[in-house]
């Protein structure tokens, strides 16, 4: 393990993880809203927001899959040191982190079962930008409509049609994150 893996975690873990968890839950509860987070300095190419989510949501019993450029020694060592999360193939993971193209196809991830819909994967999608514009969103936590630039609105709408099964998504860019739970319906033109 390289020395760089030992740094970049929360310096005040109880307070920072509580704020990060609140931001993540606010994003899930209010789809289409963008939350700003801080406290993590993960190795490149992982964004601050994806690093904050990793520090907050991963632990020794949470298998994670790293896709594409994020599947590198620096990120693996950093996650191992700071969270102890085991690495798994995409079909066995609880969380997957990568760019949209690297995370495809979605069919290989766990979508839960009728008895246990919560046993599905959550994908943390590293985005080239994150804006509250683009695809119109409707569903729980949204008063009328919200908007978010989604990487593939049609594919995410098909995922929402599986509800109560399906995948949940966090979208990250820099120090910003947003969420798209499976209960949110993207409007596809």
pLDDT digits (tens, 9 = 90+) for 22-51: 999 999 999 999 999 999 999 999 999 999
**Predicted structure pTM score:** 0.95
The CATH number of residue 30's host domain is: 3.40.50.11310
For the segment 47-103, what is each residue's pLDDT rounded down to a tens digit?
A: 999 999 999 999 999 999 999 999 999 999 999 999 999 999 999 999 999 999 999
> Rounded to an integer, what distance in angstroms lies between the CA atom of residue 170 and that of residue 123?
6
Tokens of 131: 């804006």
Q: For residue 135, what are the domain limits? A: 3-186
What is the count of structural domains for the chain? 1
**What is the CA 128 to chain-centroid distance, rounded?**
14
Would you state the pLDDT for residue 9? 72
Name the residue among 14, 66, 18 with its Cα closest to residue 42: 66
Name the residue among 189, 106, 178, 184 with its Cα closest to residue 149: 178
Tokens of 162: 């599986």
Name the residue among 181, 102, 78, 119 with its Cα closest to residue 87: 78
Say which DSSP state 111 is in: B
pLDDT tier, 163 (very low <50, low <70, confident <90, very high otherwise): very high
């Amino acid at each position: 393990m390289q020395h760089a893996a030992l740094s970049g975690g929360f310096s005040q873990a109880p307070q920072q993880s509580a704020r990060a968890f609140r931001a993540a839950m606010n994003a899930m509860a209010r789809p289409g809203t963008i939350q700003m987070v801080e406290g993590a300095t993960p190795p490149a190419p992982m964004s601050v927001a994806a690093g904050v989510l990793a520090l907050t949501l991963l632990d020794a019993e949470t298998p994670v899959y790293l896709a594409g450029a994020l599947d590198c020694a620096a990120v693996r060592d950093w996650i191992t040191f700071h969270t102890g999360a085991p690495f798994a193939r995409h079909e066995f993971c609880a969380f997957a982190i990568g760019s949209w193209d690297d995370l495809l196809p979605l069919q290989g991830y766990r979508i839960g079962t009728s008895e246990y819909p919560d046993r599905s994967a959550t994908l943390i999608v590293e985005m080239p930008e994150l804006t509250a514009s683009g695809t119109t969103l409707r569903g729980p936590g949204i008063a009328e409509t919200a908007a978010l630039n989604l990487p593939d609105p049609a594919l995410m709408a098909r995922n929402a049609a599986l509800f109560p099964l399906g995948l949940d998504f966090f979208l990250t860019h820099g120090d910003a994150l947003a969420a798209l739970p499976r209960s949110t319906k993207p409007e596809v033109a």
